[in-house]
Structure 1
Amino acid sequence: MERDIRQGRIEELEQIMALIAECVRVMQEGGSDQWDESYPNAEIITEDIERGTLYVYEEAGAPAGILVLDENQAEQYKEIKWVQTEGPNLIMHRLAVHPRVQGKGIARRLIACAENFAVERGYKSIRMDTYAKNTKALELYRRLGYEVRGEVSFPGRTANFPVLEKILAAAE
Protein backbone atom coordinates (compact mmCIF):
# COMPACT_ATOMS: atom_id res chain seq x y z
CA MET A 1 0.00 0.00 0.00
CA GLU A 2 1.04 3.54 -0.68
CA ARG A 3 1.93 5.39 2.52
CA ASP A 4 -1.11 7.73 2.21
CA ILE A 5 -3.46 4.78 1.62
CA ARG A 6 -4.43 2.38 4.39
CA GLN A 7 -7.35 0.34 5.67
CA GLY A 8 -10.21 2.39 7.05
CA ARG A 9 -10.91 2.39 10.78
CA ILE A 10 -14.28 2.26 12.50
CA GLU A 11 -13.52 5.42 14.48
CA GLU A 12 -13.41 7.27 11.12
CA LEU A 13 -16.94 6.27 10.17
CA GLU A 14 -18.35 9.75 10.81
CA GLN A 15 -15.63 11.41 8.68
CA ILE A 16 -16.10 8.86 5.89
CA MET A 17 -19.88 9.37 5.93
CA ALA A 18 -19.34 13.16 5.76
CA LEU A 19 -17.08 12.64 2.72
CA ILE A 20 -19.78 10.49 1.08
CA ALA A 21 -22.51 13.02 1.93
CA GLU A 22 -20.50 15.78 0.27
CA CYS A 23 -19.98 13.60 -2.82
CA VAL A 24 -23.73 12.85 -2.93
CA ARG A 25 -24.53 16.57 -2.69
CA VAL A 26 -22.20 17.42 -5.58
CA MET A 27 -23.46 14.48 -7.68
CA GLN A 28 -27.08 15.52 -7.19
CA GLU A 29 -26.30 19.17 -7.97
CA GLY A 30 -24.77 17.91 -11.21
CA GLY A 31 -27.91 15.93 -12.08
CA SER A 32 -26.65 12.49 -11.08
CA ASP A 33 -28.67 10.11 -8.93
CA GLN A 34 -25.85 7.54 -8.74
CA TRP A 35 -25.68 7.79 -4.95
CA ASP A 36 -28.21 9.13 -2.48
CA GLU A 37 -29.09 9.15 1.21
CA SER A 38 -29.70 5.39 1.16
CA TYR A 39 -26.58 4.27 -0.74
CA PRO A 40 -23.88 4.00 0.33
CA ASN A 41 -25.13 4.18 3.91
CA ALA A 42 -23.38 3.84 7.29
CA GLU A 43 -24.37 0.18 7.59
CA ILE A 44 -22.69 -0.70 4.26
CA ILE A 45 -19.57 1.34 5.09
CA THR A 46 -19.37 -0.19 8.58
CA GLU A 47 -19.46 -3.66 7.01
CA ASP A 48 -16.71 -2.64 4.56
CA ILE A 49 -14.53 -1.41 7.44
CA GLU A 50 -15.21 -4.47 9.60
CA ARG A 51 -14.33 -6.81 6.71
CA GLY A 52 -11.11 -4.85 6.14
CA THR A 53 -12.04 -4.06 2.53
CA LEU A 54 -12.39 -0.26 2.75
CA TYR A 55 -9.24 1.71 2.02
CA VAL A 56 -8.71 5.37 2.85
CA TYR A 57 -6.53 7.95 1.15
CA GLU A 58 -5.52 10.22 4.00
CA GLU A 59 -4.68 13.88 3.59
CA ALA A 60 -4.03 16.28 6.46
CA GLY A 61 -4.93 13.54 8.94
CA ALA A 62 -8.42 12.92 7.57
CA PRO A 63 -9.99 10.66 4.91
CA ALA A 64 -9.91 12.46 1.55
CA GLY A 65 -10.80 9.45 -0.59
CA ILE A 66 -12.11 5.92 -0.18
CA LEU A 67 -12.22 2.70 -2.18
CA VAL A 68 -13.57 -0.77 -1.41
CA LEU A 69 -11.79 -3.87 -2.75
CA ASP A 70 -13.36 -7.31 -2.48
CA GLU A 71 -14.61 -10.22 -4.57
CA ASN A 72 -18.34 -9.40 -4.28
CA GLN A 73 -19.84 -9.06 -7.74
CA ALA A 74 -23.32 -7.68 -8.26
CA GLU A 75 -25.82 -10.30 -9.40
CA GLN A 76 -26.15 -8.30 -12.64
CA TYR A 77 -22.49 -9.06 -13.50
CA LYS A 78 -23.59 -12.58 -14.54
CA GLU A 79 -25.08 -11.00 -17.69
CA ILE A 80 -21.69 -9.59 -18.76
CA LYS A 81 -19.45 -11.27 -21.32
CA TRP A 82 -16.10 -10.99 -19.55
CA VAL A 83 -12.82 -11.36 -21.42
CA GLN A 84 -11.01 -12.74 -18.35
CA THR A 85 -13.23 -15.65 -17.40
CA GLU A 86 -10.72 -17.33 -15.07
CA GLY A 87 -10.59 -15.93 -11.56
CA PRO A 88 -9.96 -14.70 -9.13
CA ASN A 89 -11.26 -11.23 -10.00
CA LEU A 90 -10.98 -8.20 -7.74
CA ILE A 91 -13.99 -5.90 -7.64
CA MET A 92 -13.69 -2.15 -7.03
CA HIS A 93 -16.61 -0.44 -5.32
CA ARG A 94 -17.48 2.92 -3.81
CA LEU A 95 -14.55 4.98 -5.09
CA ALA A 96 -15.08 8.49 -3.75
CA VAL A 97 -12.87 11.56 -3.41
CA HIS A 98 -13.95 14.55 -1.35
CA PRO A 99 -15.01 17.33 -3.77
CA ARG A 100 -12.66 19.88 -2.16
CA VAL A 101 -9.63 17.77 -3.19
CA GLN A 102 -10.85 16.40 -6.53
CA GLY A 103 -8.53 16.98 -9.48
CA LYS A 104 -5.37 16.25 -7.48
CA GLY A 105 -4.86 12.69 -8.72
CA ILE A 106 -6.30 10.99 -5.62
CA ALA A 107 -8.66 8.72 -7.56
CA ARG A 108 -5.81 7.73 -9.87
CA ARG A 109 -3.64 6.89 -6.84
CA LEU A 110 -6.41 4.82 -5.25
CA ILE A 111 -6.87 2.90 -8.51
CA ALA A 112 -3.11 2.35 -8.88
CA CYS A 113 -3.07 1.06 -5.31
CA ALA A 114 -5.94 -1.33 -6.15
CA GLU A 115 -4.04 -2.59 -9.17
CA ASN A 116 -0.87 -3.22 -7.12
CA PHE A 117 -2.98 -4.94 -4.45
CA ALA A 118 -4.56 -7.16 -7.12
CA VAL A 119 -1.27 -8.12 -8.81
CA GLU A 120 0.40 -8.90 -5.45
CA ARG A 121 -2.48 -11.22 -4.53
CA GLY A 122 -2.72 -13.03 -7.86
CA TYR A 123 -5.95 -11.55 -9.21
CA LYS A 124 -6.39 -11.96 -12.97
CA SER A 125 -8.50 -8.85 -13.51
CA ILE A 126 -10.23 -5.93 -11.85
CA ARG A 127 -13.93 -5.39 -12.48
CA MET A 128 -16.17 -2.49 -11.59
CA ASP A 129 -19.15 -0.50 -12.68
CA THR A 130 -19.73 3.21 -12.79
CA TYR A 131 -22.75 5.33 -13.55
CA ALA A 132 -23.33 6.20 -17.21
CA LYS A 133 -23.85 9.85 -16.19
CA ASN A 134 -20.44 9.88 -14.44
CA THR A 135 -18.50 10.82 -17.56
CA LYS A 136 -15.40 11.96 -15.64
CA ALA A 137 -15.03 8.55 -13.99
CA LEU A 138 -15.65 6.73 -17.27
CA GLU A 139 -12.97 8.81 -19.00
CA LEU A 140 -10.50 8.18 -16.18
CA TYR A 141 -11.07 4.41 -16.18
CA ARG A 142 -10.69 4.24 -19.97
CA ARG A 143 -7.44 6.24 -19.83
CA LEU A 144 -6.15 3.79 -17.21
CA GLY A 145 -6.81 0.77 -19.44
CA TYR A 146 -10.26 -0.35 -18.27
CA GLU A 147 -12.53 -1.53 -21.06
CA VAL A 148 -16.33 -1.42 -21.09
CA ARG A 149 -17.73 -4.97 -21.29
CA GLY A 150 -21.42 -4.12 -21.15
CA GLU A 151 -24.03 -2.36 -19.05
CA VAL A 152 -26.18 -3.32 -16.10
CA SER A 153 -29.01 -1.56 -14.35
CA PHE A 154 -29.76 -1.17 -10.67
CA PRO A 155 -33.20 -0.51 -9.17
CA GLY A 156 -34.12 3.13 -8.63
CA ARG A 157 -31.48 4.62 -10.93
CA THR A 158 -32.36 6.54 -14.08
CA ALA A 159 -29.31 5.52 -16.11
CA ASN A 160 -27.42 2.31 -16.68
CA PHE A 161 -24.03 1.38 -15.28
CA PRO A 162 -21.25 0.55 -17.73
CA VAL A 163 -19.28 -2.43 -16.42
CA LEU A 164 -15.51 -2.29 -16.93
CA GLU A 165 -12.68 -4.78 -16.76
CA LYS A 166 -8.91 -4.49 -16.77
CA ILE A 167 -6.90 -7.64 -17.43
CA LEU A 168 -3.93 -7.84 -15.08
CA ALA A 169 -2.36 -11.13 -16.18
CA ALA A 170 -2.86 -13.53 -19.04
CA ALA A 171 -4.89 -16.61 -18.18
CA GLU A 172 -2.69 -19.63 -17.54
Structure 2
Amino acid sequence: MTSVIRAGRQDEIGQIMELIARCVKVMQDSGSDQWDESYPNREVIAQDLERGTLYVCEEDGAVTGIIVLDENQAEEYGTIHWKQNKGPNLIMHRLAVHPEVQGKGLARRLIAFAEEYAAHSGYASIRLDSYTKNASALRLYNSLGYDRRGEVNFPGKTASFPVFEKVLAAAE
Protein backbone atom coordinates (compact mmCIF):
# COMPACT_ATOMS: atom_id res chain seq x y z
CA MET A 1 0.00 0.00 0.00
CA THR A 2 1.43 3.37 -1.06
CA SER A 3 0.68 6.32 1.17
CA VAL A 4 1.66 9.97 1.19
CA ILE A 5 0.82 12.97 3.36
CA ARG A 6 0.31 16.13 1.33
CA ALA A 7 -1.77 19.29 1.07
CA GLY A 8 -5.43 18.55 0.41
CA ARG A 9 -7.08 19.64 -2.83
CA GLN A 10 -10.44 21.33 -3.41
CA ASP A 11 -11.58 18.44 -5.61
CA GLU A 12 -11.22 16.08 -2.60
CA ILE A 13 -13.82 17.81 -0.44
CA GLY A 14 -16.39 15.07 -1.12
CA GLN A 15 -13.99 12.33 0.06
CA ILE A 16 -12.99 14.41 3.07
CA MET A 17 -16.61 15.06 4.08
CA GLU A 18 -17.39 11.33 3.71
CA LEU A 19 -14.42 10.50 5.98
CA ILE A 20 -15.69 13.04 8.55
CA ALA A 21 -19.25 11.65 8.35
CA ARG A 22 -17.93 8.13 9.03
CA CYS A 23 -15.85 9.41 11.97
CA VAL A 24 -18.85 11.32 13.39
CA LYS A 25 -20.95 8.14 13.29
CA VAL A 26 -18.26 6.13 15.13
CA MET A 27 -17.87 8.92 17.72
CA GLN A 28 -21.60 9.20 18.32
CA ASP A 29 -22.02 5.41 18.48
CA SER A 30 -19.43 5.38 21.27
CA GLY A 31 -21.18 8.17 23.20
CA SER A 32 -19.05 11.14 22.12
CA ASP A 33 -20.63 14.38 20.91
CA GLN A 34 -17.27 15.92 20.00
CA TRP A 35 -18.22 16.26 16.34
CA ASP A 36 -21.67 16.34 14.76
CA GLU A 37 -23.50 17.44 11.62
CA SER A 38 -22.64 21.10 12.28
CA TYR A 39 -18.91 20.70 12.99
CA PRO A 40 -16.70 20.20 11.18
CA ASN A 41 -18.94 21.15 8.25
CA ARG A 42 -18.32 21.58 4.54
CA GLU A 43 -17.78 25.34 4.93
CA VAL A 44 -15.06 24.86 7.59
CA ILE A 45 -13.29 22.21 5.48
CA ALA A 46 -13.57 24.33 2.31
CA GLN A 47 -11.88 27.21 4.18
CA ASP A 48 -9.12 24.87 5.40
CA LEU A 49 -8.53 23.73 1.81
CA GLU A 50 -8.61 27.29 0.48
CA ARG A 51 -6.05 28.40 3.08
CA GLY A 52 -3.81 25.42 2.29
CA THR A 53 -3.86 24.28 5.93
CA LEU A 54 -5.58 20.89 5.50
CA TYR A 55 -3.30 17.93 4.85
CA VAL A 56 -4.46 14.51 3.76
CA CYS A 57 -3.03 11.06 4.03
CA GLU A 58 -3.67 9.41 0.70
CA GLU A 59 -3.39 5.65 0.34
CA ASP A 60 -3.82 4.13 -3.10
CA GLY A 61 -5.75 7.16 -4.33
CA ALA A 62 -8.13 7.38 -1.34
CA VAL A 63 -8.11 9.96 1.46
CA THR A 64 -7.66 7.94 4.66
CA GLY A 65 -6.81 10.69 7.13
CA ILE A 66 -6.74 14.46 7.59
CA ILE A 67 -5.10 17.06 9.82
CA VAL A 68 -5.29 20.85 9.84
CA LEU A 69 -2.23 22.89 10.83
CA ASP A 70 -2.43 26.65 11.34
CA GLU A 71 -1.89 29.40 13.93
CA ASN A 72 -5.58 29.88 14.82
CA GLN A 73 -6.00 29.39 18.56
CA ALA A 74 -9.44 29.20 20.08
CA GLU A 75 -10.25 32.25 22.20
CA GLU A 76 -10.62 29.84 25.15
CA TYR A 77 -6.88 29.05 24.95
CA GLY A 78 -6.27 32.45 26.56
CA THR A 79 -7.03 30.94 29.97
CA ILE A 80 -4.28 28.29 29.72
CA HIS A 81 -0.85 28.57 31.33
CA TRP A 82 1.36 27.49 28.43
CA LYS A 83 4.91 26.27 28.87
CA GLN A 84 6.15 27.97 25.67
CA ASN A 85 4.92 31.55 25.44
CA LYS A 86 7.45 32.98 22.98
CA GLY A 87 5.86 31.44 19.90
CA PRO A 88 5.11 31.13 17.17
CA ASN A 89 2.90 28.17 18.02
CA LEU A 90 1.40 25.73 15.55
CA ILE A 91 -2.15 24.63 16.32
CA MET A 92 -3.32 21.15 15.35
CA HIS A 93 -7.01 20.79 14.46
CA ARG A 94 -9.42 18.24 13.01
CA LEU A 95 -7.23 15.14 13.13
CA ALA A 96 -9.33 12.30 11.71
CA VAL A 97 -8.62 8.81 10.41
CA HIS A 98 -11.12 6.82 8.38
CA PRO A 99 -12.70 4.16 10.64
CA GLU A 100 -11.73 1.36 8.23
CA VAL A 101 -8.02 2.07 8.80
CA GLN A 102 -8.03 3.18 12.45
CA GLY A 103 -5.59 1.38 14.74
CA LYS A 104 -2.86 1.09 12.09
CA GLY A 105 -0.69 4.01 13.21
CA LEU A 106 -2.07 6.57 10.77
CA ALA A 107 -2.85 9.17 13.47
CA ARG A 108 0.72 8.78 14.73
CA ARG A 109 2.02 9.36 11.19
CA LEU A 110 -0.12 12.49 10.79
CA ILE A 111 1.10 13.84 14.15
CA ALA A 112 4.72 13.05 13.20
CA PHE A 113 4.13 14.96 9.96
CA ALA A 114 2.79 17.92 12.00
CA GLU A 115 5.85 17.84 14.27
CA GLU A 116 8.25 17.74 11.31
CA TYR A 117 6.34 20.55 9.60
CA ALA A 118 6.44 22.63 12.81
CA ALA A 119 10.17 22.07 13.34
CA HIS A 120 11.05 22.97 9.74
CA SER A 121 8.79 26.04 9.85
CA GLY A 122 10.31 27.51 13.01
CA TYR A 123 7.46 26.91 15.45
CA ALA A 124 8.27 26.84 19.18
CA SER A 125 5.49 24.42 20.13
CA ILE A 126 2.43 22.55 18.95
CA ARG A 127 -0.87 23.09 20.76
CA LEU A 128 -4.15 21.24 20.44
CA ASP A 129 -7.31 20.31 22.23
CA SER A 130 -8.99 16.96 22.39
CA TYR A 131 -12.20 15.84 24.08
CA THR A 132 -12.64 14.36 27.54
CA LYS A 133 -14.77 11.57 26.05
CA ASN A 134 -12.15 10.66 23.40
CA ALA A 135 -10.05 8.29 25.51
CA SER A 136 -8.01 6.89 22.62
CA ALA A 137 -6.93 10.38 21.48
CA LEU A 138 -6.01 11.36 25.04
CA ARG A 139 -3.86 8.22 25.40
CA LEU A 140 -2.24 8.89 22.02
CA TYR A 141 -1.24 12.48 22.84
CA ASN A 142 0.13 11.43 26.24
CA SER A 143 2.15 8.62 24.65
CA LEU A 144 3.67 11.04 22.13
CA GLY A 145 4.95 13.44 24.78
CA TYR A 146 2.21 16.05 24.69
CA ASP A 147 1.87 17.81 28.05
CA ARG A 148 -1.67 18.37 29.33
CA ARG A 149 -1.84 22.07 30.20
CA GLY A 150 -5.44 22.40 31.36
CA GLU A 151 -8.99 22.29 30.02
CA VAL A 152 -11.31 24.56 28.08
CA ASN A 153 -15.03 24.47 27.45
CA PHE A 154 -16.75 25.17 24.15
CA PRO A 155 -20.37 26.31 23.82
CA GLY A 156 -22.89 23.53 23.30
CA LYS A 157 -20.62 20.66 24.38
CA THR A 158 -21.39 18.45 27.36
CA ALA A 159 -17.80 17.79 28.38
CA SER A 160 -14.55 19.72 28.58
CA PHE A 161 -11.64 19.75 26.15
CA PRO A 162 -8.21 18.98 27.61
CA VAL A 163 -5.52 21.10 25.93
CA PHE A 164 -2.05 19.84 25.20
CA GLU A 165 1.28 21.35 24.25
CA LYS A 166 4.51 19.89 22.97
CA VAL A 167 7.51 22.20 23.10
CA LEU A 168 9.78 21.48 20.17
CA ALA A 169 13.43 20.66 20.89
CA ALA A 170 14.76 23.68 18.97
CA ALA A 171 12.74 26.01 21.19
CA GLU A 172 13.93 24.59 24.52
Where on the TM-score scale, by shorter chain, does this alignment land: which range?
A: over 0.9
Q: Structure 1 residue 127 and structure 2 residue 127: aligned? A: yes
Q: CA deviation at 1:30?
A: 0.2
| Separation (CA, whole Å) in 1 of partners of 2:95 and 2:13 | 16
Aligned counterparts of 1:98 and 1:11: Cα–Cα separation in 2: 18
1:60: how far off? 2.0
Instruction: Give the letter aligned to residue 115 of structure 2.
Output: E
The residue number in structure 1 matching 2:109 is: 109
Aligned to 1:42: 42
Write the letter of the residue equivalent to 1:62: A
Q: Note if contact 2:125-2:171 (Cα within 8 Å) is conserved in structure 1.
A: no
Q: What residue is the counterpart of 2:94 in the other structure?
A: 94
Q: Partners of 1:171 and 1:12 in 2: how far apart? A: 35
1:129, 1:170 → 2: CA distance?
A: 23
How big is each residue's C-alpha offset from its partner over 1:64-96, in whole Å with a ceiling of 9 and x where there is no partner?
000000000000000000000110000000000
Q: Quick one: which amino acid aligns to residue 116 of structure 2?
A: N
Show structure 1 runs of 5+ residues with no match: none
SS at match of 2:36: coil
User: Could you say what secondary structure the match of 2:66 adopts?
Assistant: strand
Other-structure match for 2:143: 143
Residue 169 of structure 1 and its aligned partner are, at CA, apart by 3.2
The whole-number CA distance in structure 2 between the counterparts of 1:139 and 1:126 is: 17
Distance 2:5 2:59 in 1: 9
> What is residue 30 of structure 1 aligned with on the other side?
30
Q: Quote the sequence identity (%).
A: 69
Give, in whole Å, the separation in 2 of the partners of 1:18 and 1:159: 26
Return the offset for 1:59: 1.1
Cα offsets for 1:126-156 (capped at 9, x unmatched): 0000001001000000000001000000011
- Partners of 2:36 and 2:60 in 1: CA distance: 27
Name 2:164's counterpart in structure 1.
164
Distance 1:123 1:158 in 2: 32
What is the CA–CA distance in structure 2 between the aligned matches of 1:71 and 1:171, rounded to whole Å? 17
How many positions carry a matched residue from both structures?
170
Q: TM-score when scaled to structure 1? A: 0.97
State the Cα distance separating 1:51 from its structure 2 match. Answer: 0.3
TM-score by length of 2: 0.97
For residues 171 and 111 of structure 1, the distance between their equivalents in structure 2, rounded to whole angstroms, comes to 18
Q: Hey, what's the Cα distance between the residues in 1 that align with 2:118 and 2:19? A: 25
After TM superposition, give the deviation of residue 170 of structure 1 in Å: 5.4
Task: Name the CA distance, whole Å, in 1 between partners of 2:125 and 2:91.
Answer: 9
Which amino acid is the alignment partner of residue 39 of structure 1?
A: Y
